[in-house]
Structures are given as C-alpha cells and as structure tokens.
Amino acid sequence: MKKGKVFLVGAGPGDEGLMTIKGLKAIQQADVILYDRLINPRLLEYAPSHCELIYCGKFPQQHLLKQELINDFLIQKAMDGCSVVRLKGGDPGVFGRVGEEAEALVTNEIPFEIVPGVSSGIAAPLYAGIPVTHREYGVSFAVVTAHDKSKEGKPNIDWAGLVASVDTIAFYMGVSNISFIAENLILHGKPEETPVILIQWGTYGRQQTVQGTLRNIAKKVKETGIKNPAITLVGDIVSVRDKLKWFEKKPLYGRQILLARTGTAKSLVAEMLKDQGADVIEFPKWAKKEVQINETILNQLFMYERILFTSPESINEFFDLLISRKIDIRNLHATIYCLSKKSLKVLMERGLSGHLADDMNHCGGLLIIGNRKMDENRGYYLDRYGKHDIFQTSETILDEAFVPVVKNMLMEASLDTIVFPSSSSVDAFIENGSPYGIVAEEILKNLTIVCMGSSSEKRIREFGFEPDSIPAEPCPSKLLEVLILNKMREKVI
C-alpha cells in the first residue's frame, strides 16, 4: 500500500477567519485529523464526512494523549495510506512541538509538509489593540515560553539578556508563573511600572484581559481568576491599547451564545453573530444521511396543486434531484409554500416564488417535502394540513463524529444566551442533550432565552420556560437588535 502524507498545520489563534488557505485545503482533503484543545472546533466542519477526528488536546494538569502516542498515530495512519492532518493552535513552530513530530516522520520515511499558522503571541495582542512593535514604544520583540518541561515548570531563561536587549516580550501560557516572571524581570532591570497585560482566549468572543504593571500584575491575576490559555505581554507598548483597541468594541463582544440548530447547511445567523463579536456554539451538530427516493411521487409531481417545503436544505436537495434526473421544472404546477422566511429566500435563489405555510389554502393535493423526521412527524402534519403525501429528500441525523468536539466546546464555554430560530429547534435542543452529557432543561434555567418567532415562543412555553426576548420580526437583523439591547441592559444593571 502506498504511504499517505502528513500535514503539520497551524490553525491560528482561535478566530477561524485567521486560518490560512493552505491549511484549510489540507483539512478539506483529510482522511484523519488529530486536533488540539486550542484549535477552533469550527474548523473541523470543513473536513470531509468520512474524516476520522481524533482529539489529543491537553487541559491544565491533564494530558489526554502523550506526545509519543501522537507520533505513533501520525505514523500509523500515514502507513495506512491516509492523508493526515495534525492540527495545532497558533503556529506549529512556536512552542508547538512540531520539530518532535517531524523528526518521528523522517525516521519512519513518512512524507510531510509543515503549514505555518498565525501565532497567538502576535494575534492575541492585536485583538487587544496592541501591535507587538511600534517605532515609539518597541522596536524589538521576543516570544518566550513561560512554562518549561522541568518538574517545577519554571522557565530557565537568560533574564538579564532578555531585559537588556528586548523591548516587548510575549510569554506563552504564563498564568501560573506570573509572580516568578514579574519578579525575575524586575530583579534583572525592568522597572516595576512596566505595563503588563494578560490576554485569555485571544481572538475569541470570550477574550478577557487583565492589565497592570510588573509590580501588581500577579495580584490582579489572582483577584480576577484568569487562567490559561493566555498570552502575557510585557513592555511599554501595552500603553497604546486604550487608543487602539477595536475588537472589544464590537456590539456582541463577550456574548457566548448557543444557537439551536436543525439543519446541516451553514448558518448565516451564526456568521452574523460571530462577526459582531460573539462566540457561537451551534447545537446539536447534524449530518446528512441518504434515503431511498420515492420514484412514484417523483414521476407524478404534476398532480400536486400544493407543495410545502419544511426546511431550506430540502429545497436545495429537491431541485438538485430534479436536475440530476433531468426532470423539467415546468412539470410543477403547484403553488409552493415554506415553513420559514429563510426557506422562502432559498426558494427565490432558485428563481421561484412561494408563500408562508400560514397563508396556505386547503384546496387540492398536497405534497410535503422535507429532510428530517418525516415519518415521526406524520401525525403533526396530518393534524395541521390534512391529507397529504410525503417526499423525503434525505435524513438529518446527529453527527456522532462531532459529539466529543461539541462536548469540549461546551466544557470551555460560559454560555449566557440561547437562540431558538424555530419550534423544531426547541425540540432538537431538548431531545439531544444526552449524547453530549447535558440536561437541556437545566441549562435553560441559567440562560437568556431568545425566540426568533411565535412558533418557537409557543414551543418553549410548552416546556415550561418563558422567553426573555422575541425580535419584532423573525430575521437576523432584528435578532441582532434584541441581543445588543439585552447586553446594554445588563451594563446598566
């Protein structure tokens, strides 16, 4: 069997938009991905459906996979002929142990490539409003590990040389050793009033900062309880932050939002929320499963006077099926209805117009087209729309490969808000907590509940919860207005 190839890829600091094009291409072609804790899990969504995802991240005081075992995995999977991606946070060459992994591959004659990434030591300060060099404040910059492999974990550094020759210093993962770092810098000549900032989860919406001086930073870190992952930046250049900070001014900065999902398509709502500074976890994560096509219905489409699409995905899948079967769209004589405005928009992108299901008349044969739990929902559709036929384009199932990925995301998050776009998203959230080790009803007690429309509002009330906010219209722009208003109210309180 021909050997595969290993790509040692830097995933950047967190914001998935900072991923390189070359790194993303490697993910899109991967058979196996071994990923770390600090990569943004959303990047894994670009992997092919067959790709095996292996978590080998490290939590403080807890190493899930030792480096030797990671090396063995890389070798074994490549020997099996796979395209293997080793996905690391930041840049793999900056405290990413890429040298050890590359040496193991060389020893076993495994072909590999190293794909650089945006380093956290540069990106996190920039997202906090601090360039690491500036002609007025710092013309030299150093990256230093703040935790070495010794038993005590105290870095063995040429402190005198560092202080004498470098203006700005970025310490990686230095929270636990912040007192040791500050004391040694002062001892070797750095003024006590030298500005210091710690940036936790840099470039994420949950980014937090603690700012002080070498004299008081250890005390401030203890008071705030900030933890790794964090970059510690030391130098006069920190003083430009008040003037240049930009990321924290985004309207949803600091919001950690759970977006209840029922579909597999990319969520424009999630992208909008993230662009405005929020962290967004889409839950649950779904996958598409093929189903046997009902050829009888497909051959008698001209008979139906009404067609109802239950999701945006079912619209695209249905018309793609017509194209693949060379069925003339003019065979459709039906008036088309959709359950949501989002589906109507997808329909218009296909060059067709439609109406909301609430405006449907009850005359003529009805075909309901969907891609999720069509058999289970027969009773609901019968009560709501009367006699009808069903055509299923695919089946939406829980993506088991992403269960551990989403579990880790939930573990790292401090959620404050949940958004329900539809009534079915309420059911999806309530029904699917178990595989992720959560009780959905318990989570809801502590979150601000936002329903995008009357159907989700009614459904969440049926489970005994009162929505906190409902946009004036069920659309992304009105949702954004509500979330910004909620945040402003919290500031006032």
Q: Which residues are catalytic?
A: 36, 58, 173
Nearest to 392 by CA among 255, 275, 293: 293
Q: By three-state DSSP, how is residue 472 classified?
A: coil
d(CA 363, CA 255) in angstroms, rounded, equals 47
The count of other CB atoms within 10 Å of the CB of residue 446 is 9
Please enumerate in sequence order all residues whose Cβ is within 8 A of that of 228, keeping only pairs 6 or more positions apart, or say none: 60, 173, 175, 176, 200
Asked, as a colleague might, if the bond just before 284 is cis with ω within 30 of 0, I would say: yes
Q: By three-state DSSP, how is residue 285 classified?
A: coil
Q: By three-state DSSP, how is residue 306 classified?
A: strand
User: Letter for the amino acid at 194?
Assistant: T
Asked, as a colleague might, if the bond just before 229 is cis with ω within 30 of 0, I would say: yes
Strands across the sheet containing 417-420: 279-283, 256-260, 417-420, 448-451
What radius of gyration do the chain's Cα atoms show? 26
d(CA 294, CA 105) in angstroms, rounded, equals 50
- Segment (H or E) for 115: strand 112-115
The count of other CB atoms within 10 Å of the CB of residue 50 is 9
Which tokens go with 32?
Answer: 């196996």
d(CA 105, CA 112) in angstroms, rounded, equals 7
- Please say whether the dihedral angle defined by the alpha carbons of residues 256, 258, 259 and 265, taken in this order, is positive or negative: positive
Decide the pairing of beta strands 448-451 and 417-420.
parallel
Query: Where do we find the tokens 């250890």?
Result: 218
290 contacts 352 by C-beta, under 8 angstroms: no
Alpha helices in 325-451 (DSSP H): 341-349, 378-385, 403-412, 423-431, 440-444
136 contacts 111 by C-beta, under 8 angstroms: no
DSSP state of 28: H
281 contacts 405 by C-beta, under 8 angstroms: no
